[in-house]
Amino acid sequence: MDQIIQIDGFIALYIFMLAGFVGHEIIGKVPAILHTPLMSGSNFIHGIVLVGAMVALGRAVTPLEQTIGFIGVFLGAGNAVGGYVVTERMLEMFKRSKDKKS
Amino acid sequence: MSMFNMTLIIDASYFLAAVLFIYGLKRMGSPMTARGGIVWAGAGMMLATVVTFLFPGMSNYLLMIIAIGLGGIIAWVSGKKVAMTDMPQMIALYNGMGGGAAAAIAAVELYSGKDHGLTFGILAVLGGFIGAVSFSGSLVAFAKLQGFKNTTLRFRGQQIVNLIILLSTLIMAVIVITQPDIGNTISIFFILALILGITMTVPIGGADMPVVISLYNAFTGLAVAFEGFVQQNPAMIIAGTVVGAAGSLLTQLMAKAMNRSLANVLFSGFGETTSEEGTEVSGSMKPIDATDVGVMMAFANKVLIVPGYGMAVAQAQHKVWELTQLLIDRDVDVKFAIHPVAGRMPGHMNVLLAEAGVPYDIIYDENEINSEFESADVALIIGANDVVNPVARTDPSSPIYGMPILNADYAKNVIVIKRGQGAGFSGIENALFFLDQTRMLYGDGQEMASELIQAVKSL
């Protein structure tokens, strides 16, 4: 596909660098109690690979490409959906003690 | 609609998705906003996925929908069903799927024979390599934690074998990049990378697995980012890089909490060393019964509960919370003290307690709570062992020397609920059990918690 902007060279490096710092900053201050859900949450976010796999399958021509593309979409969907479900289940349970008993 | 508008819609949606991912991940950093965080990120994922169907020049839509349906349904059902104690291996499984998907993208790009140029060729191959290692490695991690494959295979010269596989994979990678027309190099390259993931992970012990899962999580993120560059997809680049960086940091934090370096985890064995413990522990373990413990806790000012994975295995967390509520009703100050590696990965114990209904504001980290043990009347240890072993502070010859521990030995009374007299997970004798102020309450975690509830109720 003809892109409006080509992401390569230094533009690619800049994006890579900035996104890297964002990831580092976001996790840096998180309390240990959330490490498991957070790992699960970041696991969900790289489920965006589904989108790439869809494009790969969409452009696949030969049976070999189609087969691999199909497997890719299947795995990507598993990553995205599974990651979401388990993260949501874990985070849903975190509650404060609402009514302080005295 | 013109092609230009279509592209604009897709680009704008991917941009919005990237914003939602970062915003969602940010919100997941605090327990109060965490739930909303995953929902926002989920909305971003939904948007990006739907809009991708509009991508120009695509076909195979039926295959695509079937694959999404199959993968989605299987993951949905398994994710809903899995017990909270099994969460670490499910994360490994879904992460492996993501790595496999990234490798599949690389494979399609490479097999298509398209000329990517040198930079994108390198990125495609590198992403495929990392993704494939993450895929097979995560599956091994899943199988180990799930108990399909408990044995840890080790032999002499294993590191050298792994190094040879690594080098062969890299050589194949160079050939794939520079000589794309030669026969089966692409297939051989991927097969080698998959084998490397297996042989790298097989020798790592179960106790270290969380660090490895976290590492593979970062790997997958990086692989997704690289394939994002190849496909010129900014949402993949940003999401993948953010996860790659966040995952690397999280891996370091975990390794630090376990007093292990990453190199140590990957290239040596702990978990299963039949460790000769350092100094002999002298003294005896003194038993106590539940009635006495009940009285002790009911009339205490401050009780600190130290739960370990053993509590979750015995499914005792609900009873422990019931007991806690009874004590709080009697105006006892009760707090939960959590070691970073309690449970199977950092934060896992918090999830298990949250499942039982324990509010997060009475749960404290090791560094928040450690100063409070001195003023505690009772430290109740349930299912924890190595994380309260004072030899980590005192005995330089011990394998766990230097590991940060909870200072339960500073409490006025220490009660240990334990099944039998054996040593812990690591096989190291626990000096805490032999202290003067320590009493052992032998029995199953859940039964003992029930007896304690009865004891407190009958007062």
Q: Give CA–CA dist B242/A25, Å, rounded.
A: 10
**C-alpha to C-alpha distance for B74 and B84, rounded to whole angstroms:** 18
- Which of B147-156, B280-289, B377-386 shows the lowest mean pLDDT across its residues? B147-156
Inter-chain residue contact A46 with B87, CB threshold 8 Å:
no
For chain A, the 3-state helix, strand and coil shares in percent, each to the nearest 5, are 75, 0, 25
| Residue B386 annotated as catalytic | yes
The answer on pLDDT for B90 being more than 50 is yes
pLDDT tens-digit map of B166-184: 999 999 999 999 887 777 8
Which of the residues A4, A6, A40, A46 would you substitute to probe the B interface, choosing the one with the greatest number of B C-beta atoms within 10 Å? Answer: A46
Q: Is the pLDDT of residue B73 over 90?
A: yes
- Spell out the SS3 assignment of chain B: CCHHHHHHHHHHHHHHHHHHHHHHHHHCCCCCCHHHHHHHHHHHHHHHHHHHCCCCCCCCHHHHHHHHHHHHHHHHHHHHHCCHHHHHHHHHHHHHHHHHHHHHHHHHHHHCCCCCHHHHHHHHHHHHHHHHHHHHHHHHHHHHHHCCCCCCCCCCCHHHHHHHHHHHHHHHHHHHHHCCCCCCHHHHHHHHHHHHHHHHHCCCCHHHHHHHHHHHHHHHHHHHHHHHHHHCCHHHHHHHHHHHHHHHHHHHHHHHHCCCCHHHHHHCCCCCCCCCCCCCCCCCCCECCHHHHHHHHHCCCEEEEEECHHHHHCCCHHHHHHHHHHHHHCCCEEEEEECCCCCCCCCHHHHHHHHHCCCHHHEEEHHHHHHHHHHCCEEEEECCCHHHCCHHHHCCCCCCCCCCCCCHHHCCEEEEEECCCCCCCCCCCCHHHHCCCEEEEECCHHHHHHHHHHHHHCC
Name the residue ranges covered by the structural domains of chain A.
32-101
Residues B47-73 have a mean pLDDT of 95
Nearest chain B Cα distance for residue A80, angstroms:
8
CA B169, CA B192: separation in Å to the nearest integer? 6
pLDDT for B309 equals 83
What token pair was written down for B119?
């930079």
- Report the pLDDT averaged over residues B308-325: 90
B141 token code pair: 């991690």
Contact check, Cβ <8 Å, B245/A23: yes
Please report residues of B whose CB lies closer than 8 A to that of A21. 245
Q: Is the pLDDT assigned to residue A2 strictly greater than 70?
A: no
Q: Is the pLDDT of residue B278 over 70?
A: no
Whether the predicted pLDDT of B275 surpasses 50: no
> Which residue among A15, A46, A78 sits closest to B224, beta carbon to beta carbon?
A46
pTM: predicted TM-score of the whole model, two decimal places: 0.85
The pLDDT of residue B269 is above 60: no
Least confident span in A11-20, A51-60, B120-129, B338-347:
B338-347
**Contact predicate A76/B101, CB 8 Å:** yes
- Annotated active-site residue in B386, B409, B436, B444: B386
CA distance B21 to A35: 17
Q: How far apart are CA B24 and CA B337, in angstroms?
A: 28
Do the Cβ atoms of B207 and B271 come closer than 8 Å? yes
**Can you identify the CATH homologous superfamily of domain B281-457?**
TPP-binding domain (3.40.50.1220)
CB contact under 8 A, A36 and B365: no
Least confident of A6-15, B36-45, B257-266, B292-301: B257-266
Q: Where are the domains of chain B?
A: 1-80, 89-271, 281-457
Residues of B46-61 as b/e, b for ≥16 C-beta within 10 angstroms?
A: ebbbebbeebeebebe
Chain A, nearest residue to B215 by Cα: A39
